[in-house]
Amino acid sequence: MARTIMLIPVGAGVGVTSVSLGMVRAFERNGLNVNFFKPVAQPRQGEKGPELSTEIIRQGTNASPATPFTLSHAEKLIGAGKTDVLLEDIVERFESHMVDAEIVVVEGLVPTAKQPFANSLNYNIAKALDAEMIFVTNPGTDSSEQLKDRLEIACSNFGGRKNKRIIGCVINKVGAPLDEAGRNRPDLAEMFEANAANASHNLEVLQVFGKSPMPILGCIPWNAELIAPRAKDLAKHLNAEILNEGELHERRLHGITFCARSIPNMLEHFRPGALLVTSGDRADVIVAACLAAMNGVKIGALLLTGDVRPDVNVLKLCSQAMATGLPIMLITTNTWQTALTLQNFNLDIPADDKPRIEAVQEYIASHIDKQWIETLTIGTKRTRRLSPPAFRYQLTELARKAKKRVVLPEGEEPRTIEAANICAERGIATPVLLGNPTEIKRVAESQGITLSAGVEIIDPITCREKYVAPMVELRKAKGLTEVVAREQLEDNVVLATMMLEQSEVDGLVSGAVHTTANTIRPALQLIKTAPGSNLVSSIFFMLLPDQVLVYGDCAINPDPNASQLADIAIQSADSAKAFGIEPRVAMISYSTGSSGQGSDVDKVREATKIAQERRPDLIIDGPLQYDAAIMENVAKSKAPNSPVAGKATVFVFPDLNTGNTTYKAVQRSANLISIGPMLQGMRKPVNDLSRGALVDDIVYTIALTAIQAKQLSS
């Protein structure tokens, strides 16, 4: 039977939907099957369409939440004295949709002037669903004593301290900026402004930990980055005409500057993520903003007011800046009216903003008490599938514990710099950027990144010479001379590989701008294979909605023979196990079992036999068609006696053509995240990136590399 956790907001503006997102993610990280239920919809003013909390959970998690009852339906029954009928309806919907869940997060109603019945209904719902209750609050302007009193009052409204179903509280938005009335819902203009006085005040609020009438299960600091909207969200709010779309759907706004002064007095505000607001006839501001964009400053957007279109020649002059992705919008209102409209901009998360939903989930989940979460998994006997959130969380946790240094030879590349900074800030690894320090800092600044003290920068010019002699020694059998070695070390990938070979770093990640061959060739020549490994192969981790699969080999070996294919299967199984995935290896072919003939299927059949003989401890079967390997209903008819069919977690493809095509088809068609390729069989970890890699892809590849380094050194 599912364990039910109900989040009950103590007042408006506490961010209960964000806490719901984080709570669901925290449970997913621990391999629990989680679902979500919002019993009664509570639309915001002017909101249309699906209930926002439910839709955000549906878009951002693996949960399949039930549709909530409408507020009008609830109010009608409550007004008619039929609260018991409403509760029966809620219980029925809950039971019918939460059958397979181990944990259900229920989000209560926010008490407002228009819904004064919210607390009473929340309590009745909690009792009807036999839910454990967690209060969600925020400090506001309260002192620790006042916050304690507020929690005491909330507790008394739900049965008091004697109610064993009250298990704790979550304090959200610690350090949030406040207005004069103590409201912590800033408008867009002030949301990123430092609020030192309030931050200091909230340090005092944290003293509530020693006074709280209930356990504090989470204390979540304010993070302005999590409320940064996309330029497209603002364009929609303003009903703006788009003069240049650029990266309207991707760029985020980190503050507003009204450009009323002369250019020299405004330049400091031309920063990454800034929304620059000016009249459409201010050609000087428009040109200055475009010059900043051409110099690498990713301005959030340029908003032109007064329904004044810039001169055609000005726009023509700015065409190269527009090509960098700078969004330009035009509205009819003047600057004063625009300022008023911006104050009413809704900073809630839109249901279609998946990157922001993901960021909120991860941030909130990281501040929920881990020990409490782990207690919920005790006694669960179900064999778990490692979900994508659990896998990503496990990666970062294992990487933190490994404490390794990873060199990034593409140190001046923007995505690599951002990924390095994230890794340093999260403690995933110590990133070592190879490149010109001045250029690296310039690129970081143009992206609005303040480089963490944990990011190491090494100028290749200062250290190349010391690797010449060791490299000549390593390749003397191949006739390498000092002149040629010095020339090859001009390539930062070769230089980074020598740093790894000399054990000055623990791993290497490259490929954001280099080909796979550029990354792997120096490693094969200088690092070579691990003892006992006959070849180097690769795997991808495919993050399906409800589990993580391993695909090998999709990047290295064009046409392995049967013995090599067996090695790939064994390497892939061992890698899966090392990352918490129970290996059940399917040797993929166009035929299942003995139904097909031909040299290709015979190779897979022989490889399966060799792998089984070499590693009898592994569960390996083949040949299997892909559908028989992954779908239980197909497996029952095609391979009823197979220990792998229908539940494979590791898929070994017969050749590079099949593997690479399949991984890309699955990734693109299903819009999945894939992490890799991760190289197997190297003496020290070297990993390749796709040239289309996103920042997150680089971060997780660095984490993989750090973990591999730990495993290879133990």
- Residue, of 369 and 214, whose pLDDT is higher: 369
Highest mean pLDDT among 47-61, 221-235, 416-430: 416-430
Residue-wise DSSP of 319-346 = HHHHHTT--EEE-SS-HHHHHHHHHT--
Parallel, antiparallel, or unpaired for β 34-37 and 3-9? unpaired
pLDDT tens per residue, range 83-109: 888 988 888 888 888 777 888 999 999
Cα 521–chain centre separation? 31
Do 453 and 431 touch, CB atoms closer than 8 A?
no
HEC string of 405-466 equals EEEECCCCCHHHHHHHHHHHHHCCCEEEEECCHHHHHHHHHHCCCCCCCCCEEECHHHCHHH
Angle at 107 between CA 103 and CA 108, to 5 degrees: 135
- State residue 520's pLDDT score: 86
Tell me: the pLDDT tens digits for 619-674? 999 899 999 999 988 988 888 889 999 999 999 999 999 999 999 899 888 878 78
Percent of the chain with pLDDT over 70: 92
Q: List the structure tokens of 80.
A: 């008619």
Q: Where does residue 281 fall: left (phi above 0), alpha (psi -120 to 50 degrees), or beta otherwise?
A: alpha
Secondary structure of residue 541 in the 3-state scheme: strand
How would residue 50 be classed by pLDDT, with cut points 50, 70 and 90?
A: confident
106 with 141: CB under 8 angstroms?
Answer: no
Report yes or no on whether pTM surpasses 0.75.
no
pLDDT mean over 477-502:
93
Give the model's pLDDT for residue 208. 55
The answer on pLDDT for 195 being more than 50 is no
Considering only residues 246 and 115, tell me which one the structure prediction assigns the higher pLDDT.
246
Predicted confidence (pLDDT) at residue 562 exceeds the cutoff of 90:
yes
Q: Quick check: helix, strand or coil at residue 205? A: helix
Is the CB of residue 431 less than 8 Å from the CB of residue 423?
yes
Amino acid identity at 674: S
Higher-scoring residue by pLDDT: 379, 575: 575
Strand partners, 328: 244, 302
pLDDT at 485 over 70: yes
Band (295; pLDDT cuts 50, 70, 90)? confident
DSSP H or E stretch at residue 173 = strand 166-174
pLDDT in tens, 535-553: 889 999 998 877 889 998 9
Token duo for residue 545: 């909605």
pLDDT at 192: 47
The pLDDT of residue 224 is above 50: yes
Go through the domains of the chain in sequence order and give each one's CATH number: 3-225+358-375 (3.40.50.300), 231-343 (3.40.1390.20), 388-523 (3.40.50.10950), 537-681 (3.40.50.10750)
Provide the pLDDT for residue 200. 46
Residue 600: pLDDT above 90? no
191 pLDDT band, cuts 50/70/90, is very low
Alpha-helix runs per DSSP H in 108-248:
118-128, 144-156, 196-205, 231-238
Q: What per-residue confidence (pLDDT) applies to 49?
A: 64
Q: What is the mean pLDDT of residues 469-479?
A: 90
Give dist(CA 656, CA 661) in Å, integer.
Answer: 8
Which segment of 58-62, 293-297, 622-626 scores lowest on mean pLDDT?
Answer: 58-62
For the residues 292-302, what does the mean pLDDT come to?
A: 89
- Which of 517, 556, 534 is CA-nearest to residue 652? 556
For residues 706 and 682, give the distance between their C-alpha atoms in angstroms, rounded to a whole number: 14
| Cα 123 from Cα 671, distance rounded (Å) | 41
